[in-house]
Structure 1
Amino acid sequence: MQLVVSHGRSLPLCMRLRYEPTDPYVVHAAFFAADGDEPVEWTLGRDLLASGLKGSAGEGDVRILSAVGHGDQVMYIALRSRAGTALLEVPVQDVQTFLENTEALVPQGAESGRIDWDAELARMLTKD
């Protein structure tokens, strides 16, 4: 993937996506430079990534801007935090393959059946 720095200029980045069936609504994304820096981690909605394959999606701190309809095979993920903003260019095929693998584990629409609601409630009630 690429970190878009300016028009016509980008830097290579690595992206590692992780999906846990016990937390079925989200995808954990780690972005890091090839030189071994500590990764920057974000939690993204699985449905947001899936919607981004079809067109632009999201609002606020995470937005996906799809370029597939324009003949490109990339999607853009825009991330915003207090530290700044980043525009990431990601191959569509990589995201699509990853999401297909998550669907094999937990089909879309079946997520709520994978959550231990009693454990979640107990965890929320014990927080200070």
Structure 2
Amino acid sequence: MITCVDHMLGMELLSPLGGRVPVPTHLLYRAQDPLLVELLFHDPVYGPIPWVVSRELLARGMPAPSGEGDIRVWPTGTGPRALLHILPAPPDGSAHLVAPLPALAHWLWRTYKLVPAPRKADALDLDGRLDRFLEGLT
């Protein structure tokens, strides 16, 4: 039985001066912890740096800005070049990451196939929203 959905994704760290640094990122979703997504940022010096994010926050941030606390997400662009911005605010500073939205959306859609949205999120039709978004990319 499949209990996790994982994927390697090429994210980028945006510098305040406008530069971009590639950040290979391992996305990991476990059915045992259905509300959370783990992002493991691979740093050549420090090794994997884990972040835990709400799966619902990522899903809500794909069509429109979402999040008010430690992590904010928002989309830019359309089609295959669309990006999802992820702004985590750790205790020692902040980081601005971007991910290819179509690849992230497809991976997230796979997590909802493994474990459907909880009852409280059913009214939001997150599966339907992700399906419509992915259909628009083809």
Normalising by structure 2, what TM-score? 0.72
Greater Rg by CA: 1
Letter in 1 for 2:53: L
Stretches of 4+ aligned residues off by more than 3 angstroms: 68-72
**Unaligned 5+ residue runs, structure 1?**
112-128
User: What are the Cα deviations for residues 34-66 of structure 1, in whole angstroms up to 9, with x where unaligned?
Assistant: x36312111100010001111110111100021
Give the drift of 1:68. Answer: 3.5
Number of the residue aligned with 1:48: 57
Number of the residue aligned with 1:6: 16
**Unaligned 5+ residue runs, structure 2?**
1-10, 121-138
CA 1:85/1:72 → structure 2, altered by over 3 Å: closer, same or farther?
Answer: same
Number of the residue aligned with 1:79: 88
Number of the residue aligned with 1:30: 40
Number of the residue aligned with 2:110: 101
Aligned residues: 110
- Root-mean-square deviation (CA), in Å? 2.1
Query: Is 1:65–2:71 an aligned residue pair?
Result: no
